[in-house]
Amino acid sequence: MKLKGTEIFLKALEEEKVDIIFGYPGGAVLDLYDQLYQSNLRHILVRHEQGAVHAADGYARATGKVGVCLVTSGPGATNTVTGIATANMDSIPLVVFTGQVPTGLIGNDAFQECDITGITRPCTKHNFLVRNIEELASTIKEAFHIARSGRPGPVLVDLPKNVMAAQYDYDPANVKIRNQEAIYKPAPKKMANVLDMLNAAKKPLIMTGGGVILGKASDELTLLARKYEIPVTGTLMGLGSFPGTDPLWLGMLGMHGTYYANMAVSHCDFMLAVGVRFDDRVTGSIETFASNAKIVHIDIDPSSINKNVTIDLPIIGDTKATLKDILRFLEEHHYTQDAGSRAEWLRELAEWREKVPLSYCQNGEVIKPQYVIEKLQKLTKGDVLITTDVGQHQMWTAQFFNFDRPNTFVSSGGLGTMGFGLPAAIGVKCAFPDRQVVAIAGDGSIQMNIQELATAAQYNIAVKVVLLNNEFLGMPRQWQEMFYNKRYSHTDMTYAPDFVKLAEAFGVIGLRATKPAEVETVLEQGLAADKPVLMDFRISREECVYPMVHPGGSITQMTLGSREMIN
Amino acid sequence: MEKKDHIISILVHNKPDVLARVAGTLGGKGYNIDSLCVNTTTQNDISKIVMTTSGSQSTITRIENQLQRLVDVISVDDLTNVESIHREMVLVRLNLTAENSEAVKNAVDMNKWKVIVSGDTYVIIEITGDKRQVDFSLARLEPLGITDITRTGLVALTLED
Ligand SMILES: Cc1ncc(C[n+]2csc(CCOP(=O)(O)OP(=O)(O)O)c2C)c(N)n1
Ligand SMILES: [Mg+2]
């Protein structure tokens, strides 16, 4: 049966079981939008293409499925770049469709032409320019396959206008793609090495990362840790991959990691690092990172191995399959931990935890951000999906909210993209309309994609924005306080809109808390609403995130904060 | 760690932009490409890229891994430590003058260089060999008055599969 390109497009999405796309129209995709007009596919009209990509990204992070966007050529396409780079750094599966000028005009500097495949080559897993209608269906299928397989990532598909208007036979049964992703099988002899190393270890530690969540390996990781009493720390991207309320959980490591997690890393003699890439924010100075430990590194991507940290035993493989193999092998070989040395190690960790717990002081009449986060956890009983922007509020969320389940913490880790939180929350809420979805935002970050309040209002996507408003670009301000003699060069954000009025102008409920006593009421009210809400929490302006590892220093060299915090 | 020249042979699907992807991957991550040769293989849809670069073994491993991540890359092999032959070619144009033409003629005869064309005022010589041989010949040609050269990248082939 002959179909138009635009029809093939929709059929191909149907084949991939796409149930929602985030997009924004324009000249080059008007044919596609005309096709959408008569289709049942759910389309969310965002207010900026960056918002579309972050929304699709949030959807993907919360569901584990591929997020999908559709935008026009030229400026529509370039507006997606930050979103694509964000997804790329965190290995999030997306397919981004961009319109393109007709193939005959490509290269002519035609109106709204831009070489988006060239621009996004370094920040996509792969990209395609569909040059003719014959390739359309197979390219779309391949794009989804590439996005979700192996180490996932964003794929961009550029669709010239004339290709979408052309006609071609379409039969899903005939759409073939090349299979490019090799299936890695963990080598059996490596399991024996893991056992030997565990047997030799007195102070084992598990470090869990985003690859555990992407690989859906949380259950296996949790079982391994609990069964053999191995304490667990994690990266920002790994939060939720091991229960944050479990006594074995040490919290996040790295620059704003807990004192005890960083001490554990420096003192452990065996580290099982799963689905991590040893980012510099995590390791501090490489020379001193886990320098007493034999390190086993499990990752699906060979290029992650030995990239930053030298690994004793690399295991290239799917995190779930590999952890399963390890569990089976340890069981078969009757591995049991030495109770004495394990108790000793756990006691050492408990002492560090007691010496410098995560803490803050909610006294006086000024709201502390950590207090808001703890109250949020209490009121939701932790049953909430959380997104964040980037900055201090993101770190406080990582520190003070205990994420018990994978895919419940959605945050831009690798690229650190301000303005991610609100649109990502919209994507998450679209995937889980019946669950509570909260964007923990900064006053600087929220202004980068505040226009998406209109999207939330239009579709009544009831996301709840918890704005931790310190009237500062707080994170750079903290660096200026610590390393630049408090010279607050261009980080003061006192000039800002009245966020409550702004929310209301968008058709979103606006609430405000200025005193600690109001925090709970505002949260209760905001969480109870079945409409989108923005809650403006006026917090202590110069609160810092502690502990803090000095950039480039060893992760045991931490500024711990004021005396009252260490007590 | 010791820095060494490496010859990397890369098989790729002959897809649009594949060369840009390979080159961009290296450039974007801060690695240098010293020479590059690309052409199709006996299979039309597969191309071979032979590239020389330099770095420590760990740098080279990193380059190989980064390239392996590319969807259109089929295989990446470092030929430096396997038995393989290497060739490159250079075309050299010399100015012929009353003073040098005798010396040029003698040098060509003595070194068995291949003259491709010659005119009243110029001669173009082809030199083929491995890098050392080519460098050696160029050093001998230098004093004779080179006006221009074009040098291919290195190509390489393993002795066995
Ligand atoms: C798009 C973008 N621009 C700049 C930065 C650098 N940056 C990191 S955190 C931050 C301040 C964030 O301020 P805010 O959202 O108010 O969060 P806070 O740190 O105050 O909690 C800035 C400017 C960034 N991460 N992203
Ligand atoms: Mg702020």
pLDDT digit string, tens, across residues A203-236: 999 999 999 999 999 999 999 999 999 999 999 9
Separation CA A483–CA A473 (nearest Å) = 15
Structure confidence by residue, pLDDT tens digits, B98-109: 888 899 999 999
Name every residue whose Cβ is closer than 8 Å to that of residue B98 and which is 6 or more positions away in sequence: none
User: pLDDT tens digits for B37-69?
Assistant: 999 999 999 999 999 999 998 889 999 999 999
Assess contact for A413 and A235: CB atoms under 8 A. Answer: yes
Taking Cα atoms as reference points, which of A379, A376, A504 lies closest to residue A440? A376
Which residue of A303, A304, A309 to mutate against B (max B Cβ within 10 Å)?
A: A303
**Strand residue runs (E) in A304-442:** 313-316, 385-388, 409-410, 437-442
Residues from chain A that touch B28, judged by Cβ atoms under 8 A, are: 122
CB–CB of A534/A498 below 8 Å? Answer: no
Contact between B65 and A303 using a beta-carbon 8 Å cutoff: yes
Q: What's the pLDDT band for A566 if we cut at 50, 70, 90?
A: very low
Residues A132-136: what's their mean pLDDT?
A: 96
pLDDT, tens only, B105-131: 999 999 999 999 999 999 999 999 998
Interface touch B16/A129, C-beta < 8 Å: yes
Residues of B in contact with A125 (CB under 8 A): 71
How much of chain A, in percent, has pLDDT values that exceed 70? Answer: 98
pLDDT for position A562? 62
Residue in chain B lying closest to A179 (CA): B71
What is the Cα–Cα distance from A514 to A498, expressed in whole angstroms?
13
> Chain B partners of A146 at a C-beta cutoff of 8 Å?
71
Question: Is A161:B48 a contact under the CB 8 Å cutoff?
Answer: no
Residue B2: predicted pLDDT: 77
What spacing in Å lies between the alpha carbon of A256 and ligand 2's midpoint?
Answer: 17
Question: Does the beta carbon of B20 lie under 8 angstroms from any beta carbon of chain A?
Answer: yes
CA A409 – ligand 2 centroid, Å: 20
Q: How many CB atoms lie within 10 A of CB A281?
A: 18
- What phi and psi values does residue A168 have, to the nearest 5 degrees? -160, 155
**CA-nearest residue of chain B to A130?**
B16
pLDDT band, residue A180 (cuts 50/70/90): low
A182 or A309, higher pLDDT: A309
Cβ distance of B21 and A301 shorter than 8 Å: no
Contact B61 A306 (CB under 8 A): yes
Q: Is A413 in the pocket of ligand 1 (CB under 6 A)?
A: no
CA-CA distances (angstroms) from residue A24 to A65, A79, A288, A424, A454? 21, 11, 48, 16, 14
Collect all residues of chain A within an 8 Å Cβ-Cβ radius of residue B65. Answer: 301-303, 305
For residue A83, what are its two tokens?
């979103």
Please tell me which of the candidates B21, B62, B66 has its beta carbon nearest to residue A121. B21
Does residue A182 carry a pLDDT above 70? Answer: no
The confidence score (pLDDT) of residue B160 equals 86
B43 touches chain A (CB under 8 A): no
Of B20, B24, B58, the CB nearest to A306: B58
What per-residue confidence (pLDDT) applies to A200?
Answer: 96
Which pLDDT score, from 0 to 100, does residue A567 have?
Answer: 33
Token readout for A141 is: 């299928």
Pocket test for ligand 1, best of A400, A418, A468, A470 (most atoms within 8 A of CB): A418
Residue A446: per-residue pLDDT:
98
Q: Do B71 and A126 touch (CB under 8 A)?
A: yes
Q: How far is B153 from chain A (nearest CA, A)?
A: 25
Look up residue A438 and give its amino acid: V
CA of A390 to the centre of ligand 2 (A): 9
Residue nearest to atom 13 of ligand 1 (CA): A473
Minimum distance, in Å, between the CA of residue B39 and any CA atom of chain A: 22
Distance from the CA of A375 to the center of ligand 2, in angstroms?
19
- Any B CB within 8 A of A107 CB: no
Helix (H) or strand (E) segment spanning residue A528: helix A516-528
Residues 6+ away with beta carbon under 8 Å from A235: A207, A208, A209, A210, A252, A253, A254, A276, A279, A282, A413
Q: Which residues of A touch B70 (CB under 8 A)?
A: 126
Per-residue pLDDT at B155 exceeds 70: yes
Query: Residue A468 in contact with residue A369, Cβ under 8 Å?
Result: yes
The CA-to-CA distance between both ends of chain A, in Å, stands at 75
Q: CA nearest A195: which of A155, A159, A228?
A: A228
CA of A564 to the centre of ligand 2 (A): 24
| Shortest-distance atom of ligand 1 to CA A419 | 1
Longest CA pairwise span in chain B (Å): 58
Spatial distance between the Cα atoms of B68 and B82, rounded to a whole number of angstroms: 20
Residues from chain A that touch B16, judged by Cβ atoms under 8 A, are 129, 131
Ramachandran area for residue B132 (φ above 0: left; ψ -120 to 50: alpha; else beta): alpha
Average pLDDT on A102-112 reads: 94
Question: Is A49 known to be catalytic?
Answer: yes
- Exposed (0-12), middle (13-18) or buried (19+): which is A541, by Cβ within 10 Å? middle
- Asked whether the beta carbons of residue B69 and residue A303 sit closer than 8 angstroms, the reply is yes
Q: What is the pLDDT of residue A306?
A: 85
Ligand 2 centroid, distance to A456 Cα (angstroms):
22
DSSP A173-229: GG-------PPP---HHHHHHHHHHHHH-SSEEEEE-HHHHHTT-HHHHHHHHHHTT
Q: Helices (DSSP H) in chain B: which residue ranges?
A: 18-28, 57-68, 101-111, 131-145
Query: What gap in Å lies between CA A91 and CA A19, rounded to an integer?
Result: 21
Residue A175: pLDDT band by 50, 70, 90 thresholds?
Answer: confident
Greatest mean pLDDT range, A78-87, B9-18, B56-65 = A78-87
Burial A146-169 (b: 16+ CB within 10 A, else e): bbbbbbbbbbbbbbbbbbbebebe
Nearest atom (ligand 1) to Cα of A393: 21
Cα-to-centroid distance, A497 and ligand 1 (Å): 17
Q: Which of A207, A237, A448, A475 is catalytic?
A: A475
What kind and span of H or E run contains A389? Answer: none
Report residue A21 as tokens. 């796309």
pLDDT of A179 above 80: no
* DSSP-based helix, strand, coil % in chain B, nearest 5: 30, 40, 30
Measure the CA–CA gap between A485 and A494, rounded to whole angstroms: 20
- Residue of A112, A451, A458, A525 marked active site: A112
Q: What pLDDT sits at residue B1?
A: 62
Residue A295 predicted with pLDDT over 90: yes
Q: Which two tokens stand for residue A75?
A: 């400026």
Model confidence over A405-456: pLDDT tens digits? 999 999 999 999 999 999 999 999 999 999 999 999 999 999 999 999 999 9
Give the integer Cα–Cα distance in Å for A525 and A537: 13
Q: Across the strands, what pairs with B11?
A: B48, B75
Are the Cβ atoms of A146 and B28 closer than 8 angstroms? no
Confidence of residue A181 (pLDDT cuts 50, 70, 90): low
Which of A282, A218, A279 has its CA nearest to residue A246?
A218
Q: Is A307 on the interface with B (CB under 8 A)?
A: yes
Mean pLDDT to the nearest integer, B13-42: 92
Of the candidates A166, A82, A168, the residue with the CA atom closest to the CA atom of residue A124: A82
Average pLDDT of span A121-138: 97
With contact defined as beta carbons under 8 Å apart, do A261 and A282 qualify?
no
Q: Residues with Cβ < 8 Å from A380, sequence gap 6 or more?
A: A436, A438, A527
Q: How far apart are CA A206 and CA A539, in angstroms?
A: 35
A148-175 average pLDDT score? 95
Q: Give the CA angle between residues A335, A336, A341 to the nearest 5°.
A: 135
Q: Which of A29-33, A241-245, A526-530, B24-28 has the lowest mean pLDDT?
A: B24-28
Q: Which atom of ligand 1 is nearest to the CA of A394?
A: 21
**Mean pLDDT over residues A371-377, rounded?**
98
Contacts of B71 in chain A (CB under 8 A): 125-126, 146, 180
pLDDT tens, A465-500? 999 999 999 999 999 999 999 999 999 999 999 999
pLDDT at A563 over 50: no
Residue with CA at minimum distance from ligand 1 atom 5:
A418
Q: Is A255 in the active site?
A: no
Q: Are the Cβ atoms of B62 and A307 closer than 8 angstroms?
A: yes
Partner residue opposite A180 with nearest CB, options B20, B58, B71: B71
Over chain B, what is the mean pLDDT?
A: 92
Cβ-nearest to B24 among A121, A131, A305? A121
Q: What confidence score (pLDDT) does residue A564 get?
A: 39
Q: Which of A325, A323, A315, A328 is nearest to A184 (CA)?
A: A315
- Ligand closest to CA A389: 1
Closest-CA residue of A relative to B62 is A303
